[in-house]
Amino acid sequence: MSLANLKLAAEVRAILTDLGVKAETLTGGSLAVRSPITGETIANLHEISAAATDEAIAKAHAAFLEWRMIPAPKRGELIRLLGEELRTHKDALGKLVSIEVGKVTSEGLGEVQEMIDICDFAVGLSRQLYGLTIATERADHRMMETWHPLGVTGIISAFNFPVAVWSWNASLALVCGNSIVWKPSEKTPLTAIATQAILEKAIARYVADGGVVPPSLATLLIGGRDVGEALVDNAKVALVSATGSTAMGRKVGPKVAARFGRSILELGGNNAAIVGPTADLDITLRGVAFSAMGTAGQRCTTLRRLFVHDSVYDQLVPGLIKAYGSVSIGSPLQSGTLVGPLIDKGAFDRMQQALEAAKAAGGKVHGGERQLADEAGDAYYVRPALVEMPEQSGPMVDETFAPILYVVKYSNFDTALALNNDVPQGLSSSIFTNDMREMEAFVSDRGSDCGIANVNLGPSGAEIGGAFGGEKETGGGRESGSDAWKAYMRRATNTINYGRTLPLAQGVKFDL
């Protein structure tokens, strides 16, 4: 179907009203929401003011005081129901993700699957918020470490994972006994409204089953940066979990730190892969193509820098250039499409500027041209660009949130490893090799300095079981699996004296 014939606004209305969202929520407001598929406006939402944000946070704090008293496995039951509701509404929410962000169908559905997966993880976690018993030097004493609910968790999310990132935070925060306040990207508020409606269905079932949910346990704030700022500045928000650009994190991090709040910062990446002389080039080509072109280069873990050993450069790179020239670009709703649109004109302009800068730095550009402009003048489709660079320089050390893959030839493994690490960001990385020494060195203490280091797969496409996040200008936060839950709780060390004397630690005497 041609782009011009898509009826996206009507589809969006149908999906949202089916989820129970009132029709008037979608019209008459100041926040115009557009679909990158056609560029058309699909809703006009009402925004919350900064003052009303503070009121909402005060209510969320009151909810926290009640929710923390509910036993954790019972809190987990709410998340189990959320997982069930997400399963029921997976197709609808997945489609909405595709319409609002421009992700191809399998990725829209994959995003919802990720939400379901983290719910399953969090349900198990709700019975595993383990502390420690620690050996004590004092007789008849017991020392332990216990974990307690923290407070209001503020979630600020980016456009490119409009709902999965919420679910990583929300499911963990809620089983940990916190209330949540969510400020989604102003570019993708409809998926947030849908998700909130799905959560409300889970809450209704929980309450119908006899569960207690305080009002304002989970609040959604529709608005722009000013709403995010109000959330960041509010001392009642114990934890700010903010996902977005490094520029955003540079503002948010110091503000939260200045009021001694806690933050999880999930910021920009500039992810690399090394292709060694022994690499399986078939796997490499497919791994590179998916990581670099998938989601139209708009994943935080998108592959942006490729270092190819000179002995395999001529076998791999022409094949990649061919794949770049032939990959299917178009409506993400159409089966067979692999590359959907960029989010907006700003993203397109930044991509073109980066390509010009790459040329000025000696780069040879393949692709990068605008596509389908005659079908949809307000949508921004591009052919992904592969740029052969003489060295790592110019725009290559910055994150441009678009499908540009810079390729550099290398001859020495240690040089490639140094290049992998020689950027300010530290999110994800990978190596394609069958050489055990290279493989182990890459994941060792002297290896990749990123939060994610993969072998024989690309840097993108993480599973929820691992801790997700990165180092350096990526912000240092960890979300999702492993022990990331600890960031959502406060830790206490408890020493209990069950004896009849009062021995002091370190042999200290204080005899009255």
Enumerate binding residues for ligand NAD (CB under 6 A).
156-161, 183, 185-186, 224-225, 228-229, 232, 243-245, 248, 251-252, 266-269, 300, 399, 401, 427, 470, 474
DSSP letter assigned to residue 430:
E
- Which of 100, 107, 266, 473 is catalytic? The answer is 266
Given the complex with ligand NAD, which of 245 and 393 has the nearer CB atom? 245
Instruction: Give least dist CB 328 to ligand NAD, A.
Output: 24
Phi, psi dihedrals of residue 298, rounded to the nearest 5°:
-110, 45
Cα torsion 209, 215, 216, 217: sign? negative
Between CA 146 and CA 151, with CA 148 as vertex, the angle to 5 degrees is 155
Given the complex with ligand NAD, which of 187 and 383 has the nearer CB atom? 187
Given the complex with ligand NAD, which of 50 and 283 has the nearer CB atom? 50
Instruction: Give least dist CB 154 to ligand NAD, A.
Output: 9
Name the β-bridge partners of 51: none
Instruction: Give least dist CB 231 to ligand NAD, A.
Output: 7
Provide the phi-psi class of 131: left if phi over 0, else alpha when psi is between -120 and 50, else beta. Answer: beta
Phi, psi dihedrals of residue 189, rounded to the nearest 5°:
-80, -20
Residue 385: closest CA among 298, 342, 321, 459: 321
Instruction: Give least dist CB 184 to ligand NAD, A.
Output: 6
Instruction: Give least dist CB 67 to ligand NAD, A.
Output: 24
Given the complex with ligand NAD, which of 266 and 438 has the nearer CB atom? 266
Alpha-carbon distance of 373 to 486, in angstroms, equals 48
3-state secondary structure of 388: strand
Residue 252: closest CA among 225, 270, 224: 225
Structure tokens at 389: 């660079």
Cβ-defined contacts of 437-441 (< 8 Å, 24+): 438/274, 438/276, 438/278, 438/413, 441/413, 441/417
Instruction: Give least dist CB 439 to ligand NAD, A.
Output: 25
Alpha-carbon distance of 350 to 329, in angstroms, equals 19
Given the complex with ligand NAD, which of 251 and 486 has the nearer CB atom? 251
Go through the chain and tell me how many residues it has.
Answer: 512
Alpha-carbon distance of 331 to 372, in angstroms, equals 10
Do 192 and 164 contact (CB within 8 A), yes or no? Answer: no
266 classed as catalytic: yes
Given the complex with ligand NAD, which of 185 and 454 has the nearer CB atom? 185
Instruction: Give least dist CB 110 to ligand NAD, A.
Output: 15
Given the complex with ligand NAD, which of 30 and 328 has the nearer CB atom? 30
Give the Å distances, CA to CA, from 335 to 40, 125, 225, 332, 382: 21, 37, 35, 8, 18
DSSP letter assigned to residue 179:
E
Alpha-carbon distance of 64 to 236, in angstroms, equals 11
Given the complex with ligand NAD, which of 83 and 253 has the nearer CB atom? 253
Cα torsion 311, 315, 321, 323: sign? negative
Instruction: Give least dist CB 458 to ligand NAD, A.
Output: 16
Residue 36: closest CA among 294, 341, 297, 329: 341
Residues assigned a catalytic role: 266
